[in-house]
Every structure is written in C-alpha cells, then in structure tokens.
Amino acid sequence: MVSPAPKIAVENLRLSYGHKEVLHGISFTVAPREILGVIGPAQSGKTSLLRCINRTVEFTPGAVMTGTVRVDGEDVMRVPDVYGLRRKIGMVAPLPVGLPLTIYDNVAFAPRCAGVTDPAELDARVERCLRQAALWEEVKDRLDTLGTKLSGGQQQRLTIARALSHDPEILCLDEFSIAIDPVTTMRIEDVLKELRAHVTILLVTNLTQQARRLADRTMFLWNGNIVEIGPTEEIFSDHPKDRRTFEYVNGIFG
C-alpha cells in the first residue's frame, strides 16, 4: 500500500533569534490525521517549531528561518496567502489569550472573518466548538458575557474552541493543559482522539504521559535537535534507540 503524502514535511529547519540558533537543522514529516507528540525539556525549541509551521515566528524581530516547512507540499514561506495558511493551522498557546469580546464572539470571530454571516450557521458552529472544548455546559446561558471574565481554565478552553472555529486541517497545541484541571484535561484529550479522524495534530507537551496516551508517534526534541522520533510505544519502551530518550521519559533528567 502506498503511504499518503505527508501533511507536514520539515527539512533541515534552522531557526535563529539574533546570534542564537535554537533549531539546528531538524527534519521530519507528519502524516495526515496523525497525532505527533513533541516532548523535551524547556528551551528545546518546541514552541519555536510550531511558530515556524504557521509563520508566526516572523513576528519576532531578528528571527531568521532557513530550510523548508511544507504543508500539503507547499512551502509555507512561499504561500501567496499567509492568512489562509494560518486559518488552516489552528494554534493553542500555553496560557489563555482571550479576545476582549463576548464568549460567543470569541468563537464566532474567525468564521465571520472568513465570510460566514448566517446566524444559524454561526450559532451551530459556536455550540459545536464550545462542546468540543468541554465548555458548553458551563457557559451556554451566558454567551453574551465577556470571555475575559471566565476563570483561567475556562479561558484556555475558550482558546481551544476559537482554534477549532475555522475548521483547521492542522491543530498545534502548545502545553494546552497547563492551566486546566486534570478532569477537564482528560475530557479534552477524549475530544482530540475524536478529532484525529479528520485533523492532523501536533501536541507539544511537558507531560510525557499525555504524549503516551494520545500520540501515534512521539518526537523527543532536546537543545534544538531531534534525539529520536518513532512510534510512541517504542519511545516509551524500556529500549528506545537512544538512552537519553529512556532517561527523559522516565524522569531521570529534564
């Protein structure tokens, strides 16, 4: 059977902030509808990698990216419509970044920007996304209140709902559960398992067991280099290819 073309293909990616190089020529691919877990200690380049994929890294003065990142075979640095690229790639940051709008308008904002104006369609999309983010039951009776009035954990779930609102083909999650309680985290993990049927997911997490629960494959990134990438069951086995992988996932360092 012929393997499908990769959804994401990264080749010899280097990224520098000024004189400091934070990604050192890494290469890997992500298959369509795959969940790739990205683990590694702090300052390993995990967040920077996500920002290269949707080109938000260019907002950082002095950032220089070389190599190629392709989404559906197209070099992200050469796409004619960068806003279309970013609609294609939903991003969830470690801490909630709420818009100063109502809960409803936070979720409806991106669809409206994309031209969705039908009230019934917007209502349905807002409800669907809030349900997917495990937030609907808590806010359904106060959708007209400011999203910034929600608790930290609720605001993070609102951020997830907003990321899903434009039906992304790729979802990049950067420590999404850092501000969410364990019970809600597990509910959202169940949603991610359902989303894998039609969305490609990059899951950056410092919770190695989260990657173990969710990821089809896991990549161990350390100091801007890929130590190891492979099927998650192999990464978390007693005999991964690199001893450093075993030591990291077992808490010996990091």
The pTM (predicted TM-score) of the whole model is: 0.90
Per-residue pLDDT, 62:
92
Report d(CA 9, CA 28) in Å as an integer.
Answer: 6
Per-residue pLDDT, 163:
92
Q: How far is CA 202 from CA 32, 63, 70, 171, 215, in A?
A: 11, 22, 15, 6, 9
Contact in structure between 49 and 129 (CB atoms under 8 Å)? no
Per-residue pLDDT, 113:
87
Out of 3.90.1150.200, 3.40.50.1000, 3.40.50.300, 3.40.50.720, select the CATH number for domain 8-249.
3.40.50.300
Per-residue pLDDT of 62-84, as tens digits, reads 999 999 999 999 999 999 999 88
Per-residue pLDDT of 14-71, as tens digits, reads 999 999 999 999 999 999 999 999 999 999 999 999 999 999 999 999 999 999 999 9
Per-residue pLDDT of 126-180, as tens digits, reads 999 999 888 999 999 999 999 999 988 888 889 989 999 989 999 999 998 887 8
For the chain, the residue count is 254
Per-residue pLDDT of 180-204, as tens digits, reads 888 888 888 888 898 888 899 999 9
What mean pLDDT comes out for the span 229-251?
95
Partners of 102 in the β-ladder = 146
Name the nearest CA neighbour of 105 among 146, 59, 49. 146
Per-residue pLDDT, 201:
96
